[in-house]
Amino acid sequence: RPSWMDPAQALPDLLSVTGAAQLQLGNLSEAVADLSRALGARPEAAIRSRAIDGAALATAYLQAEEVELGLSTGHRAVDAARHMPSARVREGLARLQLELEGRSDTPSRELMERVAGLPTGEMARRLELPRKSLQNYVEGGLFEPDLVMPGGHYRFDPKHARQQLQQLRDRGYVVARP
C-alpha cells in the first residue's frame, strides 16, 4: 500500500494542505490551528514533512503578529530542514524568509540569516577565520555547509557553523584566526 494511503499519515497530510491553503487565503487563525495539528500529529521521523509544516506555521504566526511563537517555530523548522535536499522544504523556507525580510528586530534578523544562510566570506569573518581556512575545512570534510548553491557556492547557518567550529576545537584542531 502506498504511504499516502496510510491512515496515520492521511490526517497530518490533510491538515498540512488545508493549513497551507488557509495561510494563502490570509485566514491566519485557521492556518495556525491546522498547521499546529498537522505538526503535532507527525512522527518525529517525518523530518521533511515537519520542516515543511514548521516553516508554514512559523510564517502564519509571524503574519498573525505572534512573533515569539513564529521565531521559535521557525528555528525548529530550520533545524529540521538542515541538509534536506527538498524543493518543497526550500520553498517553505523561502516564504518564511520573505516574511522575515520586513522585520528589523534582532531575533527576526538572526532567524533570517539561518534561513538564507551566510556566504563563505561572511561566515568566515564572523567565525574569525580566514576565508581560505573555512573553504579548506569544507573541502577536507571537517566542516559541512548547510547548503551548496547550484554554482557550487556554500551557505552556512551561523548557529550550526559555530557548533561545528567548537567541535573542531574540542577535537584538538588548531583553528586559525585571520
pLDDT digits 0-9 by tens, 148-161? 887 888 999 999 99
Asked if residue 76 has pLDDT above 90, the reply is yes
- Rounded mean pLDDT, 39-56: 92
- pLDDT category of residue 176 using cuts at 50, 70 and 90: low
Rg (CA), the chain: 18
**Is residue 57 a contact partner of residue 35, using CB atoms and an 8 Å limit?**
yes
What pTM does this model have? 0.82
Give the torsion sign (CA, 94, 76, 158, 102): positive
CA atoms within 13 A on the CB side of 171: 10
The pLDDT of residue 152 is 86
Which of 20-29, 84-93, 125-134 has the highest average model confidence (pLDDT)?
20-29
Q: What's the CA gap between 90 and 68, in Å, rounded?
A: 22
pLDDT at 9 (0 to 100): 78
Closest Cα to residue 48, out of 9, 97, 100?
9
Q: What's the pLDDT at 132?
A: 93
Amino acid 10: pLDDT: 84
